[in-house]
Amino acid sequence: MTQQSPERSARTPRLGAVILTMGNRPEELRALLESVAKQDGDRIEVVVVGNGAPLPELPEGVRTVELPENLGIPGGRNVGIEAFGPSGSEVDALLFLDDDGLLPGTDTAELVRAAFAGDPELGIISFRIADPDTGETQRRHVPRLRAADPMRSSRVTTFLGGANAVRTKVIAEVGGLPDEFFYAHEETDLAWRALDAGWAIDYRADMVLHHPTTAPSRHAVYHRMVARNRVWLARRNLPALLVPVYLGVWLLLTLARRPSRPALRAWLGGFKEGWTTPCGARRPMRWRTVWRLTRLGRPPVI
């Protein structure tokens, strides 16, 4: 990991935001943009990417990119990154926010700036997602195994895709999100590469994104892509010895959850697809990174 110069570390980090939309949530998108505009401190430059869909009318000053086809979540977000220059170089960090989310506090951006300015090893911040009506945080939205207390901040090994901030130096060093994943596990792929390069990831309970409670299985492609991308994730990033261990554990966990027959059929089809299709460049993490993940409570076999 390249060390920041003292001058760069002392300067207030410049923030940008990437918001991906399919144009079907115009009211929620406008509310999110208003919450970003209300953030304390310097103005946040915003890019809204229409992922295979035309964009609604947006506030003045918001940059827009309309893609002719849906590139998936990682592909669309990568386009948003490049709208800020190569690897997002116009800014020091990028917020990635779901288009149906909302920043309820006005201090989130200042908290992000302070976190990055105060810790030069910090590369990624995962926000806490809370239901706007109940204030509850789903266990799956706490990116660690010990998820019972969502109000506890900690170092973690992955992050939430639509509620985070990423230092652009991380993207410049290890690359962006994996386009080919389209949906599911793209954040963990980037997280593992960042950790292997020496960066740290924090889950911050005090940085909140309001988002309605949903189930990931609402997406028609969920079971197939979760399984396919799980295999790709292992093939791309894990030492060869750990690939069958990691995937064997996930196969057993999936069977233990007793999914419906159609869901299991889709999952097994995706699992097979993950082995028989190209997964992108293989860059196995070092064993010291495996040990680092283990010390953080999530060895890469779970």
Q: Which runs of E-coded beta strand occur in the chain? A: 15-21, 45-51, 63-67, 93-98, 122-130, 154-155, 163-167, 200-210
Residue 1 lies in a domain: no
Quick one: how far is CA 63 from the chain centroid?
21
- The count of other CB atoms within 10 Å of the CB of residue 146 is 10
| Distances 11 to 63, 109, 118 between C-alpha atoms, Å | 25, 15, 11
Residue whose token pair is 């992955």: 158
Q: Contact, 153 vs 203, CB < 8 A?
A: yes
Q: Which helix (H) or strand (E) holds 251?
A: helix 243-256
Residue 134 lies in a domain: yes
Residues 6 or more apart whose CB falls under 8 angstroms from that of 112 comprise 13, 15, 93, 95, 125, 165, 207
Number of structural domains the chain divides into: 2
Q: pLDDT digits over 80-119, tens only? A: 999 999 999 999 999 999 999 999 999 999 999 999 999 9
Write down the pLDDT at residue 154. 98
Alpha carbons 16 and 83: distance in angstroms, whole number: 10
Write down the pLDDT at residue 221. 82
* The amino acid at 133: D
Alpha carbons 166 and 123: distance in angstroms, whole number: 6
Residue 77 lies in a domain: yes
- Positive or negative CA dihedral for 55, 51, 83, 161? positive
Q: Based on the domain organization, do 173 and 221 belong to the same domain? A: no
Alpha carbons 169 and 157: distance in angstroms, whole number: 18
Write down the pLDDT at residue 11. 79
Q: Which of 165, 194, 214 represents a domain boundary (last residue)?
A: 214
Alpha carbons 178 and 191: distance in angstroms, whole number: 11
Q: Contact, 95 vs 168, CB < 8 A?
A: no
Write down the pLDDT at residue 239. 98
Whole domain around residue 254: which residue ranges?
Answer: 217-295
Write down the pLDDT at residue 203. 98
* CATH number for 182: 3.90.550.10
Q: Based on the domain organization, do 201 and 240 belong to the same domain? A: no
Q: Which of 157, 182, 214 represents a domain boundary (last residue)?
A: 214
Q: Based on the domain organization, do 171 and 265 belong to the same domain? A: no
Write down the pLDDT at residue 5. 43
Q: Based on the domain organization, do 200 and 277 belong to the same domain? A: no
Residue 16 DSSP class: E
Write down the pLDDT at residue 220. 55
Q: Which of 214, 236, 269 represents a domain boundary (last residue)?
A: 214
Residue 302 lies in a domain: no
DSSP track, 104-143: -SS-HHHHHHHHHHH-TTEEEEEEEEE-TTT----GGGS-
Alpha carbons 132 and 139: distance in angstroms, whole number: 16
pLDDT block averages, 10 residues each, the chain of length 302: 48 95 96 98 98 95 97 98 98 98 98 98 98 95 94 98 98 98 97 98 98 71 94 98 97 94 94 97 98 96 86
Residue whose C-alpha is closest to residue 162's, from 19, 16, 12: 19
Residue 44 lies in a domain: yes
